[in-house]
Amino acid sequence: MDHWFSLKKLLSIYLNPITVTLELVFLGVVLIGLASRKPRKPLGPKMTRLRAHLGDLGVFLVILGILTLFLSSIDPVANALALHLERQHPPLEERNGVPVVPETPAAIVVLAGGQLNVPDKPVLSRLTRQALGRVVGAADLWKHFPDAKFIVTGHPDETSAMRAVAERLGVKSDRIIEETESRDTKDHPRKLGPLLGDSPFLLVTSATHMPRAAALFEAAGYSPILAPVDFLIWPTPGVYDPYRPGMLIPRVFNLELTSTSLHEIGGIAWSRWKGEVE
């Protein structure tokens, strides 16, 4: 068992605004409760001061938790975090609707992004929003390079769902290859070696995920043609929905956006700490 892998996954669970908020508020309420509890016997001056400090700390943690939730759910914070990631690798340039690439790719590699693959679920509903965006973007690119291999990589349940969606979108079944041993972004470069060789290939993943994916592939000695898709904020933050409230009004979507961005930023920091990327 890879203990570092398990630790990273555990940390990633807690690196999201809702979890952080609940932990801060819970701890704050506990401290306030301890400080306000009536003692059974009179306390000395030191203990009295300690209880007062605990109560003050509890109030501070509750306020900090609520502030964390508020900041994470407003446009300026969520958009800034996502744009920081998305602007690092812009989408492929297009001319007359055709993507411009330095050389014709021999393969299109699509990184997994989660699946909802259960019996009787419609084909186009078997992937998470991120994964569906990646497959849709990759399928559109494949139509310009139909001789390229269409490689989906991830857990077997993910690749199975990705194959089904890609086929529904017009990718020929005999061009699709499933790489099913990867469990994490760092696994993809190592597991894909036998399938890629030295041939040029397009690397397709969500724009927020591309900085980490590109760094890991380049650290493994590859020079992929980066084709980020599933852009949410790029090229600039702004109000795209006329029914959306003001930018300082908390929104659930922003919590997801902040959580996704923090997950990627934390993943990059982890890879640097582990020496997986420079």
Q: What is the pLDDT of residues 25-50, one digit of tens each?
A: 999 999 999 888 877 777 777 878 88
Taking only the tens place, the pLDDT of each residue in 253-263 is 999 999 999 99
Residue 36 and residue 102 in one domain:
no
Residues 60 and 105 in one domain: no
Residue 103 in contact with residue 200, Cβ under 8 Å?
yes
CA 61 from centroid of its chain's CA atoms: 27
Give the number of domains in the chain: 2
As a whole number, mean pLDDT of residues 174-185 equals 93
Q: Between residues 277 and 211, which one has the greater pLDDT?
A: 211
Residues 151 and 204 reside in one and the same domain: yes
- Asked if 215 and 233 touch (Cβ cutoff 8 Å), the reply is no
Give the domain-ending residue among 56, 72, 88.
Answer: 72
- Cα three-residue angle 34-40-43, rounded to 5 degrees: 75
Residue 255 lies in a domain: no
Residue 241 is predicted with a pLDDT of: 64
SS3 of 151, please? strand
Q: Do 107 and 52 fall within a single domain? A: no
Q: Is residue 143, in this structure, part of any structural domain at all?
A: yes
The answer to whether residues 160 and 110 belong to one domain is yes
Given this model, what pLDDT does residue 4 score? 65
| 256 domain-assigned | no
> Mean per-residue pLDDT for 156-161?
94
Q: Tell me: do 29 and 153 sit in the same domain.
A: no
**pLDDT band for position 117 (50/70/90)?**
confident
Whether residue 195 is contained in a domain is answered as yes
Q: When comparing pLDDT for 239 and 209, which is higher? A: 209
One domain, residues 20 and 109: no
**Does the residue 172 lie in any domain?**
yes
Could you report the per-residue pLDDT of 223-239, keeping only the tens digit for each?
A: 999 999 999 999 988 66
Give the pLDDT of residue 40.
72
pLDDT at 256: 93
Task: Tell me whether residue 65 is in a domain.
Answer: yes
Looking at the fold, whether 135 and 225 belong to one and the same domain comes out as: yes
Q: Answer whether residue 241 is part of any domain.
A: no
Same domain, 102 and 222: yes
260, HSE (Cβ side, Cα atoms, 13 Å): 26
Q: Does 224 fall in a domain?
A: yes
**Which residues lie below 8 Å from residue 94, measured CB to CB, with a gap of 6+?**
100
From the list 186, 184, 217, the residue with the least C-alpha distance to 202 is: 217
Shared domain for 34 and 117, answered yes or no, is no
Distances (CA, A) of 11 to 15, 23, 160: 6, 14, 28
Average pLDDT, the chain: 90
Residues in the chain: 278
The residue segments making up the domain with residue 221 are 96-231
User: Above 90 in pLDDT, residue 149?
Assistant: yes
Boundary of a domain, candidates 17, 38, 72: 72
CATH of the domain at 173: 3.40.50.620
Q: What span, in angstroms and rounded, lies between the C-alpha atoms of 110 and 112?
A: 7
